[in-house]
Structure 1
Amino acid sequence: MRSIAILAACAAFTVGALPTIVHAQSTVQTDAKTIWEKFKGSWNHTKGAVKEQWGKLTDDDLLEIEGRRDQLVGKIQARYGITKEEAEAQVGTWEQKRYRDM
């Protein structure tokens, strides 16, 4: 009986928190999109910082990436042998720091 009450409380909390979580996620996605629009606009400058952060990326990789975040994540994943989630996390941390420095 106590387990049911705990589950019900968790479900109520989770459902109640859902709009906040969805809003936060969409804000993060919008911020990332805005950041990458700026990065694409100055890709020749930005790719130097990308190469500095992820030295295993080749010049050909950077040409293929061409300022596209999804391509950067994929290249990092492949070159470093990490999961997509790990590559996403690395790019997320880097882009926030880099954007603050712009």
Structure 2
Amino acid sequence: MNSDTIAGNWKQLMGKAKEQWGKLTDDDLTVIEGKRDQLVGRVQERYGIAKDKAEAEVAAWERRM
């Protein structure tokens, strides 16, 4: 799944993102609006991980979706 598809289907994918990253709030997911770079940033911030690790997690999640 590419970033355009994620942005277009964000409302449906919000639940899946929350399952994957439970520390993300509903407000976080609303602000992200399907923007991949913002998702990476929020995952990095909430979990206190390096950007490359957050990038890898989001990329793996995209492949599963």
* TM value normalised by structure 2: 0.94
Identity of aligned residues (%): 55
Task: Confirm or deny that 1:57 pairs with 2:24.
Answer: yes
Q: Which of structures 1 and 2 has the bigger CA Rg?
A: 1
2:39 aligned with 1:66, yes or no?
no
Residue 56 of structure 1 aligns to a residue whose secondary structure is: coil
| 1:77 alignment counterpart | 44
Q: Which has the higher helix share?
A: 1
CA distance in 2, matches of 1:84, 1:56: 17
Number of aligned residue pairs: 65
Offset from partner CA, 1:27-58 (integer Å, 9 cap, x none): xxxxxxx6111111111101111001000000
Unaligned runs of 5+ in 2: none
* Correspondence 1:82-97 to 2 at 5 A: 82-97=49-64
One-letter code aligned to 2:14? K
Distance 2:32 2:50 in 1: 18
SS in 2 for 1:82: coil
Runs of at least 5 residues in structure 1 that lack an aligned partner in the other structure: 1-33
Q: Which runs of 4+ in 1 moved over 3 A?
A: none
RCO comparison, higher one (Cα < 8 Å, 6+): 2
